[in-house]
Amino acid sequence: MEENYTFKIYFPGENELDKTNEAVDLIVKKDGKEYTGSLITLRHLNELFVKNQGTRECANGSYFPILKQIVIRNLEKETIKKTLDDLIKRNEFDYFFN
């Protein structure tokens, strides 16, 4: 079933978006409403663990708190679409996007 929505990545950084190593907000227009959620790539999350080992944050990189964010393999359009389609299909979209 084709879902009816559009999305755009909100990336305030000055550098070019690295689709494999970034944390971004995603703005989704669905059912006449606008929703916002957060995506973080697996690679970026791993780099945060490594950084925290060096800075001694989060018990020397032992954990990373991540509330209502979606860990995603990459920020390619097709990957984001598959993710959104699955969240909608599983009725989990509203948990991550508000």
Helices (H) and strands (E) in the chain, counts: 4, 4
Distance CA 70, CA 97 (A): 10
pTM check: above 0.85: yes
Neighbours of 72 (CB within 10 A): 21
Q: Shortest CA distance to 65 belongs to which of 52, 83, 79, 80?
A: 52
Mean pLDDT in consecutive groups of 10 residues from the start of the chain, 98 residues? 86 90 97 97 96 96 94 98 97 96
pLDDT value for 3: 73
Q: What is the DSSP letter of 68?
A: S
pLDDT value for 13: 78
* Residue 34 near residue 25 (C-beta atoms within 8 A): no
pLDDT value for 12: 84
pLDDT value for 2: 60
